[in-house]
């Protein structure tokens, strides 16, 4: 995308103006398609993150249930749960510091 065209830079020829408008419409259509593809990819990745967070929470629950901690409060489980601000690095979820 370039800088906006100033009115004094516009051509006086009607056909040149039509071509300019058609070019801008095509560029807008292309950008909209790219945005929609990006939105779909973001939705897919967000769903994957939620799935991985749930899998991690279940694994933590199994781990701590297996270690003999039987009387754990809800607040203690929440502290163990992965928060949405986790970062994904090399297919591994890393809890916030």
Q: How many CB atoms lie within 10 A of CB 56?
A: 17
DSSP 85: T
- pLDDT category at 27 given cuts 50, 70, 90 is very high
Model pTM above 0.85: no
Residue 24's pLDDT is 93
The distance of Cα 3 from the centroid of its chain, to the nearest Å, equals 28
Domain positions in the chain are: 12-94
Residue 4's pLDDT is 77
**Intra-chain end-to-end CA distance of the chain, in Å:** 39
Residue 10's pLDDT is 86
């Amino acid at each position: 995308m370039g800088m906006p065209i100033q009115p004094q830079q516009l051509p006086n020829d009607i056909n040149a103006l039509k071509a300019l408008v058609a070019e801008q419409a095509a560029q807008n259509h292309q950008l909209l398609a790219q945005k929609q593809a990006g939105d779909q990819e973001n939705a897919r990745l967000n769903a994957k993150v939620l799935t991985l967070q749930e899998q991690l929470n279940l694994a933590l629950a199994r781990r701590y249930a297996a270690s003999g901690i039987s009387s754990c409060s809800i607040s203690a489980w929440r502290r163990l749960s992965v928060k949405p601000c986790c970062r994904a690095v090399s297919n591994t979820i890393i809890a916030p510091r």
